[in-house]
Structure 1
Amino acid sequence: MTAIDAHAHVFKRGLPLAANSRYAPDYDATPEDYIRNLEANGITNGVLVQPSFLGTDNSYMLEALRRYPDRFRGIAVVQPDIQQDALRELAAAGVVGIRLNLIGGQNPRFDADPWPMFLKHLADLDWQVEIQAEARRWPELLPLLLKSGVKVVADHFGKPDPKLGIDDLGFRQLLAAGNTGRVWVKISGSYRNGAGLPAAAMPLLRESFGLDHLVWGSDWPNTQFEATTGYSQVRGELDVWVPDPGDRRVVLDAAPRRLFWMMRR
């Protein structure tokens, strides 16, 4: 049966780094390494997310998508002035959305050029905009994104402030967007959110979004946390967060298959 890991990264040492990179791995995380982890943990498919430290050079990820077209989908990092033909080339390779890692940066001006046309191109492709940002930023980010017509995916539980947890007002704003039907949340990266968050957040996420808008991701190879976690451990967390096997099938299969594989053409 299909089981999809909705968030992982592949890279190798020596690839050109983004100019503003704050991190550079000293090991390889190849597609073949990733596949071995998938198969060892009963997962059939994966979504490759372009690592932030590689910037807009998506070539290594694209190579993996082309090598394993039935197994992988991709989330790219691009500049907002990219031409529509280039986006279509990415789509042909298996890319289904773009990622904005806003940690350490400013919120984009989604209502100023070139963003409106860029977002329209993404919506025309039925792509998603995946965002990693502190939850306090959701009140500013969500309204314009939803107005543009794109699908929105919140990384790592929406990243509430570890000190505030589910009481973070930005996280509450994210929950309120569940009724739009166009926002998904990745239940992933628990170690990036402070102890205890998943147990407190999961009931609220299920109530606001429904299981069909929650997807699980391993965040493999768990960059900067490699010494304290691993694939089998994060896969086991899902069994705790979603103990019912039928519910897990939704999170591992139905929800991510619809979001990443069943694109409008």
Structure 2
Amino acid sequence: MNIFDEPKIDCHNHLFDPARFPYHPAAPYAPSGQEVATLEQFSQLMDAYGVRHALLVGPNSGYHTDNRCLLHALAAGQGRLRGVAVVEPDIGIDQLAALKEQGVVGVAFNPALYGVEVMQGAQACLGKLAELGMFAQVQVCEDQLLRLQGLLERNPVRVLIDHCGRPDVRAGLQQSGFQALLKLASCGRVSVKLSGMQKFAASEDLLGQSRAYVHALIAAFGADACVWGSDWPFIRQRSRVDYGPLLKLAEQLMPDPQLRRKIMWDTPRRLFGFS
């Protein structure tokens, strides 16, 4: 059995449907053209590649804190999908609980886009997420995690780190930000997405430039705290990215079928409550 036939859960992807759900005026970017990605298109893609479930991430681009597109998809998916929402920092616990009832498992924080300052004042929100057993999904890049490590270690919230921590491949495995990420494995509350290689590695050498980082993360966190994601529909990419080659990349990065099954199926089913 190859990776196309194996059961899979895609743990990082987005929907953009401006015809049905107009974009938020405060969004930093408005996806268009081939970046538009409807639920119907994503469902076809999942069926074509044998992806049984998906964790939809509410995007800062397009929708900002408007989660209507995300919630519509979760309702239509009838258990096939779970979601990560983008919310205002002062959201109430009752509002978070209502999102959880609709299939939202966490809230996204994006220092990589907005700077680490976006986490200032997040303590209260993190506490509410912890109380509800939800995730704080955090996207950082390069050495940003150094300034957030203490906050994430002190707070009891479950943490989900995006895109391998988006290291600087020129700086090597010993760079401070990536080492800070590896140290978070000892918390027991932190999981990491083996995703977004195209965000930090050169398109012509995704395997060569990402392999050492992926293997280091698997070694530190273990397969019980690693999941895989595609980042479909690949917005703001400087060169073409396709879903099939990313699946083959995952197969090359994780050649052991038993390891792949754990990271791409067993672990996300358990973490995000897929039946």
TM-score normalised by structure 1 residue count:
0.91
Counterpart CA distance in 1 for 2:52 and 2:238 is 22
Structure 1: 4+ residue segments shifted above 4 A: none
Deviations, residues 158-188 of structure 1 (Å, cap 9, x unaligned)? 0112321423211011011112111111111
Counterpart CA distance in 2 for 1:18 and 1:126 is 31
69, 72, 82: which one pairs with 1:73? 82
Matches within 5 A, 1:1-265: 2-14=7-19, 15-27=22-34, 28-53=36-61, 54-108=63-117, 113=121, 115-195=122-202, 196-225=208-237, 228-261=240-273
For the aligned residues, what is the CA RMSD? 2.0
- The answer as to whether partners of 2:14 and 2:59 remain within 8 angstroms in 1 is yes
- The answer as to whether partners of 1:49 and 1:75 remain within 8 angstroms in 2 is yes
Counterpart CA distance in 1 for 2:273 and 2:16 is 23
Counterpart CA distance in 1 for 2:110 and 2:134 is 17
Give the aligned length: 261
- The answer as to whether partners of 2:79 and 2:274 remain within 8 angstroms in 1 is no
Cα pair distance change 1:100/1:248, threshold 3 Å: same
State the shift of 1:123 in Å: 0.3
Counterpart CA distance in 2 for 1:149 and 1:247 is 28
Counterpart CA distance in 2 for 1:33 and 1:58 is 19
Deviations, residues 202-242 of structure 1 (Å, cap 9, x unaligned)? 22112211111111001111112385111111111110010
Unaligned runs of 5+ in 1: none
| Structure 1 counterpart of 2:205 | none
Deviations, residues 66-97 of structure 1 (Å, cap 9, x unaligned)? 11131000000001101111111111110000
- Percent of paired sites with the same residue: 34
Counterpart CA distance in 2 for 1:44 and 1:255 is 14
Cα pair distance change 1:139/1:75, threshold 3 Å: same
Deviations, residues 92-130 of structure 1 (Å, cap 9, x unaligned)? 1100001011224232475x65x3322111001111111
- The answer as to whether partners of 1:2 and 1:45 remain within 8 angstroms in 2 is no
Counterpart CA distance in 2 for 1:4 and 1:104 is 26
State the shift of 1:248 in Å: 0.5
